[in-house]
Structure 1
Amino acid sequence: MPTPHHVPLAEQTRDGLVESVHYGSLIALGPEGTGPGNAEGTGPGNAKGTSTGPGTGTGTDTKVTAGDPDAPIYPRSSLKPLQAVALLRAGLKLEQDLLALTAASHSGAAMHQDGARRILEMHGLNEEALANSTDLPYGVAEREEWLRAGNGPTQLAQNCSGKHASMAAVCTINGWPVEGYLNPEHPLQVLVRDTITELTGEDAAAVSTDGCGTPLFAHSLRGMARAYGRLASASPESHEGQVAHAMRAFPEMVAGEGRDVTAMMRAVPGLLAKDGFEGLQLIGLADGTGVAIKISDGGDRARLPVTVRVLAELGVDADSLAALQIPPVLGGGKPVGVLRAAAFLPAADFQTTPAS
């Protein structure tokens, strides 16, 4: 596949000189039904939005776009909320905190590891049922505490253990074999693939394996933004709405203390947020607006300033965004520069319809 045509999205300055530049692509789609659409709803869409993708038949405004949002990318852990929808469709029933953990890339705190263990025990399983990789806790503070206690890498500490515990649980619910649940042809993973295809409105462009061992499907930023808009605006009774509501109610389970994803959901009412390795940020707003951002070099630090810039242009309350602090660039322990969004679009090109 050709290299995506990324553009500068973020830059770091030091005493007025641009020191580093992060390239990437992004898109913000308005709620479904707000664009002109087309007769069949099968077109890929364009810079100002004509179609929501295969078979949807409804228009969606493209509110913000930069770079190459139609190029296929691996969404990595930003797929977890969509995978959680599939698990609910397969009969999974959990309290909200554990459902949020199912959609999490958690920091590995005691509450996260205990939550994954609870999911397993509720379904007659133990840690041996997990097929994810082993790792240390993802959160810096959590990792340091874990190591001071003399612990090493485990499957429960690995940041995807909530998802894997729920995947193993769904197998017991349906009488499917737990062993081999990560095989792409396992009925669980077939359901996951079909659910992701439905929510994104597009077939996977490629298939690989994520870091934790789960099948990984490539989709466009446009398709991912569409899916998050659908989750964020879904009725509370639907499987999509249940996942979104659980993540908003327990943002500390989705990431952890000190993590920007947790901070975003606490700061902005109705906002749904999930990150992913290699510079992915997905956002859904309560009115059905979806945002997808990819930092091409995988630089995690660039996600937050770009996200804040896009949310501001979408009309999200400035006081809410002010709570999202972007650390200054230091020299000798003193601020000498900033990490900021680049001028990836002239301000006049943004549509600033307030978001709910």
Structure 2
Amino acid sequence: MLETLTIADAVELAIVERNGFVESRHAGAAVVLSPDGEVIAQHGNAEALILPRSSLKPLQAIASVTAGASLEGEQLALGTASHSGTDRHVEVVREMLAAGGLNEDDLGCPAAWPSDSTARRDMIRDHADQARVRMNCSGKHALMLRACVATGWPTEGYLDTAHPLQVHIRDVVERLAGEKIAHTSIDGCGAPVHAITLLGLARAIHRIGSASERSPFALHRVAGALVRAVRENPWTIAGPGEPDTIAIETLGVFAKHGAEGVMVMVAPDNTTVAIKTLDGSSRASAIVAATLLARAGALGEADVAALASALPLDVLGGGQPVGMIRPGSGI
């Protein structure tokens, strides 16, 4: 059976401190690439396989657009999002579907409650049920469906690994990562998710983050447009109070977390970091990523401090801050 990095492969990425007592530690691996794409720092085993989970969405979105889906701006950004299901998110996803002659019933993701507390409370008050469009991956699924409509592929069965869209996505993932997919699993939303190395994910995200919309290559033009769309519409990628949105708004980075402790972040100068937390927690990922970018000279210490103050990193005791989640000794 294939597996991700082991405890022996990991280093301490972050600690949780309460009143001067280190209560918990988050171990994992991280890799930093220079603006030119060279490895400049590696912590733990970056060549271990991982399932990128939602950090794979930028690659899936680019594949969907190169397959034929023509979207831009908020709609393109929603195609790579793990959104919190606010009414604003849902409105854009519905627009994406309607423009392709589709509706919510065509979505292959499961029905869910929004993670946004206000939206969830409003739905409960209105006696509304869980909905597919509220699921955090509905934008990705809408973009996949739009690709099928544009290309003439069947929308039914679009999540099957043998479907032409998924075959195309697999090819794009391998091209961007520069390595063969080692294994394919099914993500929580029902779409295929492909195992690549942490280093392969970093290389793919670096290629996306440094791509130019003026490139002679369509793949790079689409990647450049995607990154711009997300940076111009940070609310789309996650939502109010969510780490990815906060990081983009505060630092101007491109950021995308994935379940089970995966995180990628690209600085404005294209320095790139990819992280996998071994215990699957994401609560320290954004500040660890920003810290690594700062140590590489891509961000300033004041930038990291600003992000730390905006993120929910306080450890509370009796409702008051008594400690902090902060980077660990392994980085």
Deviation at 1:296, TM superposition (A): 0.8
CA distance in 1, matches of 2:123, 2:197: 37
Instruction: Please give the alpha-carbon distance, in whole angstroms, between the structure 1 residues aligned to 2:291 and 2:241.
Output: 20
For structure 2, the 5+ residue unaligned runs are: 215-220
Q: Is the 8 A contact 1:267 1:321 kept in 2?
A: no
Shift in CA distance, 164/255, structure 1 to aligned 2, threshold 3 Å: same
Code of the residue aligned with 1:246 in structure 2: it is A
Q: What is the match of residue 69 of structure 1?
A: 46
> Which deviations, in whole Å up to 9, do the C-alpha atoms of 1:106-135 show, x marking residues without a partner?
010111111111111101111111111111
**After TM superposition, which residue ranges in structure 1, 4 or more long, deviate above 3 angstroms?**
none
Residue 196 of structure 1, CA deviation = 0.7
Pairing 1:303–2:285 present: yes
Partner of 2:275: 293
Q: State how 1:108-257 maps to structure 2 within 5 Å.
A: 108-237=85-214, 238-257=221-240
- Match of residue 264 from structure 2: 282
User: What amino acid sits opposite 2:121 in the alignment?
Assistant: E
Q: Which position in structure 2 is the counterpart of 1:18?
A: 22
For 2:41 and 2:125, how far apart are their aligned partners in 1? 46
Deviation at 1:298, TM superposition (A): 0.9
Give, as a single letter, the amino acid of the residue that structure 2 aligns with 1:162.
Answer: G
CA contact (8 A) 1:227 1:290 kept: no
Distance in 2 between residues matched to 1:9 and 1:150, nearest whole Å: 43
Find the counterpart in structure 1 of residue 63 from structure 2.
Answer: 86
Deviation at 1:307, TM superposition (A): 1.8
CA root-mean-square deviation: 1.4
The alignment covers a number of residue pairs equal to 317
Asked if 1:335 corresponds to 2:288, the answer is no
- 1:218 CA displacement: 0.5
Q: Distance in 2 between matches of 1:307 and 1:247?
A: 18
TM-score, normalization by structure 2: 0.92
- Structure number with the bigger relative contact order (C-alpha 8 A, sep ≥ 6) is 2
- Quote how far apart the aligned CAs of 1:328 are: 1.7
In 1, the alpha carbon distance for the partners of 2:223 and 2:17 equals: 41
Give the equivalent residue in structure 2 for 1:313. 295
Structure 1 residue 267 corresponds to structure 2 residue 224: no
Kept in 2: contact 1:231–1:284 (CA 8 A): no
TM-score, L = length of structure 1: 0.86
- Once residues 298 and 273 of structure 1 are traced to their aligned partners in structure 2, the CA distance between those partners, rounded to angstroms, is 18
| Conservation of the 8 A alpha-carbon contact between 2:16 and 2:23 | yes
* C-alpha separation in 1, matches of 2:11 and 2:72: 42
